[in-house]
Amino acid sequence: MWRERNVRNLVLPFAAAITKLNQSSSTILGKWWSSLKASFLNNLVQKFKGMVVFVLYYYAQFKESQQDLQNVLNVLKLLYKANVKAQETIPLNKFYIDNLCCWVNLHQDVLNMKFCNRSPDEVNKEEFLVIFCHYPFILNLSAKIQALHTFAALNQQEAHFQAVFSEGNPSFPTLPTSHELKLKVDRKTLVADTFQWLKNVDDRDLRKKLMVEFKGEAGVDYGAISREFFLLLFEELIHPDSGMFISTEQSTGIWFPSQVTGPMENYFLLGIVCGLVLYNFGVVYIPFPLALFKKLLNVKPILEDLLEVDRVLHKSLQYILDYKYNLEENLLLDFSIHWDNQQVELIPNGKETRVNVGNRERFVAAYVDYIFKKSVEGPFGNFKRGFYKVCAEEIVRFFQPQELMDLLIGTDDYDWKTLENVTTYKGIYNRSHPTIEMFWEVFHKLPLEEKKLFLRFLVGTDRIPVSGMSSLKISISSLWSMTENHFPVANTCFLTLFLPAYTSVKSLREKLVIAIKCTRGFGLT
């Protein structure tokens, strides 16, 4: 850390001078920074990050320090843009200030951002000089998630307020409609019920907290019913029989079809559902490729993104780029392709334009652009419109594509030992209880698929939140009425496993496996 004298007399004036550069000079500086080697660019970034912390630590209580802070943040913003323009010379997480929340009230900062964005003409610029959410590239993933949750909670409060007070005269509250978004569906017609319901939902109600009820089943949705609802819904939506997506035997993900066979509106409704998952802090498995999340954030997909959609095609296109012989004569390719059961010309007169060494990069770029952009303008455009009908783009853009992907669909980073370490015990149980010792012995010997079934049984989903297995705060308890003849019971709302006091490993294993394989639903007998 610099000494205070150097900071006041050298570094802060230097930052102020950079921010006062005219557009032309700023552009030249940005180009120079873009050309720096990674080590030099990273050194600059770390120094100015250190300056942010220094000013926050030593001068946060002084109003005049706000201008200094803004100057340093603006320099970091220029460095960030230069790095992006250079196609990420250094990883974007090098810009994160991990301990920022030690000095910044992020909840208040999100409030300030919402106020400034909504009423820019009413803002006192001196009062709101520095809003850290206007510099999202310095927020680490934890801070971004906190900001997203705060933003969603504020929107839910606003929706509740609008439900209670009449729009005509806010001084007189009307009988409240509901501050919840209630959905009642039949398991047998899950997709049809959900899509029909979404067609009739008022846009403002989408900001309310989602509460799901399955017809014929008891239970209040404290989160567990919603988790199961999303899990079952997407199992049907991504199934080949739905006809909404295409995939290849060599792919690990699904993609939008170029020829839509069902109602185009379904992709709009699908986008709303995905938005509801994120808005309600859910996690659900959808094998979308990273390219989808890039497109949501206006980042252009590249050839490597094709690996998740069609591994063989990716290999073929890379082969064309690397081919060292006479490409035109040996491979006999032209600018027409076969995709999704149809022949397509990538450029006008593509059938007559041969691929050669001089235009092969253009061919590959056009091929990738067709798959990820031109062929899916209809379905993806509707999906994106539905997604942002629920989620505010101003907060979603905080995330990098991989972060947004992990946030929505979770991960499969199963750290079972961590799950054991964070588990708590209630009632007669503690970690050294014989039944608990047997339980973990049995659990760790289960095959992966049965461990995942256990998560679905207890948590409502087998996907791990991006924050990791340690965020699953499960507990194991007992009920006085349980005997060894009973099966384990899960309270998914509170992530509690009620485990009978088994005295044998065999009995515990048999009844646990039966329970996790056979139980589905709330209030079912």
Q: Looking at the annotation, which residues are catalytic?
A: 493
Strand partners, 489: 498
Q: What is the DSSP string of 13-38?
A: HHHHHHHT--HHHHHHHHHHHHTS-H
Give SS3 for 107.
Answer: helix
503 CB-near residues (< 8 Å, 6+ apart): 434, 435, 484
Nearest to 70 by CA among 130, 11, 30: 130
Residue 107, CA distances (Å) to 111, 132, 154, 397, 481 in order: 6, 11, 10, 18, 45
The answer to whether the CB of 201 falls within 8 A of the CB of 267 is: no
**How many residues make up the chain in this entry?**
525
Quick one: tokens of 408?
């929505």
Please tell me the distance from the alpha carbon of residue 513 to that of residue 454, in angstroms, as a whole number. Answer: 8
Give SS3 for 506.
Answer: helix
52 by Cβ neighbours in 10 Å (0-12 / 13-18 / 19+) ranks as: buried
Give SS3 for 477.
Answer: strand
Please tell me the distance from the alpha carbon of residue 393 to that of residue 354, in angstroms, as a whole number. Answer: 42
Q: What is the DSSP string of 165-201?
A: B-SS-TTSBPPP--SEEEEEE-GGGHHHHHHHHHHHS
Nearest to 388 by CA among 201, 206, 120: 206
Between strands 209-214 and 180-185, the pairing is parallel
E strand segments, 264-423: 336-339, 342-345
> What's the chain's Rg over C-alpha atoms?
27
Quick one: tokens of 273?
């559902």
Between strands 475-477 and 496-498, the pairing is parallel
The answer to whether the CB of 398 falls within 8 A of the CB of 285 is: no
Please tell me the distance from the alpha carbon of residue 472 to that of residue 456, in angstroms, as a whole number. Answer: 12
- Scan for tokens 């001078």, then name that residue: 17
Please tell me the distance from the alpha carbon of residue 265 to that of residue 200, in angstroms, as a whole number. Answer: 13
Alpha helix (H) residue ranges in 410-447: 416-422, 434-445
Please tell me the distance from the alpha carbon of residue 405 to that of residue 146, in angstroms, as a whole number. Answer: 17
